[in-house]
Amino acid sequence: MTLYFHTTFYACLLLFSQATFSVTSDAENLQMEGLDGKQHSLSEYFDQNKWLIVNVWGTSCPYCRMELFDLTSFHNKHHKQDAMVIGLTLEFPSFNFPKKQSVSDFALDYFIDYPLLLVDRKLASKVIGQNIDMIPLTFIYNPHGKLVHRISGAVTEKMLEDIIKTKSSNVQIEKPERNPLEEKL
């Protein structure tokens, strides 16, 4: 039974990793409320011809909190040239829409200066084109809007730098066996 499960799991993972993903025009145009009170869509960010790092996270998720410094640092180093970060923020653990004022206060406390959009599980899943069943999740799109990397779990600035440097065009799914951010503690 265990061998069957592992074989099936890795076969599905291999098939998934060979697929090519890009955000559909419908998903690109889905409207999400930003902390500025305005409606935004991913198409606003894809039109900038930059790498787009889409991080699905929640303010009360411990692993999400641990990656914030790295995401902010990466965004600050790259947003004027070749890459930017946006956060799809949901309530954790309910995966419902978060309260805008709570997220706004949190962003100020943690010096988050990249765009944060408010979502629930259903909206985030539509935007990404995949079911959102855990956080943090990070989706990395090349400048042409093609998904080239997905990371389940916390990310570091170095991980993002390495992905951008390789300019990978194949979808890669990465789930670390250990959390690299725990080493910082």
The per-residue pLDDT of the chain, averaged, comes to 82
Say what the pLDDT of residue 172 is.
55
Say what the pLDDT of residue 7 is.
35
The pLDDT tens digits for 15-61 are 333 333 345 456 678 999 999 999 999 888 887 789 999 999 999 99
Pick the CATH number of 20-28+39-176 from 3.50.50.60, 3.40.50.150, 3.40.30.10, 3.30.70.260: 3.40.30.10
How far apart, in whole angstroms, are the C-alpha atoms of residue 54 and residue 73?
15
Q: What amino acid is encoded at 21 in this protein?
A: F
Distances (CA, A) of 173 to 75, 126, 148: 22, 19, 9
- Among 13, 75, 23, 69, CA closest to 46: 23
Domain positions in the chain are 20-28+39-176
Token digits of residue 177 = 């066996």
The answer on pLDDT for 174 being more than 70 is no
Q: Can you list the positions of beta strands (E) in the chain?
A: 21-22, 32-34, 39-40, 51-57, 83-89, 116-118, 137-141, 146-152, 172-174
pTM: predicted TM-score of the whole model, two decimal places: 0.79
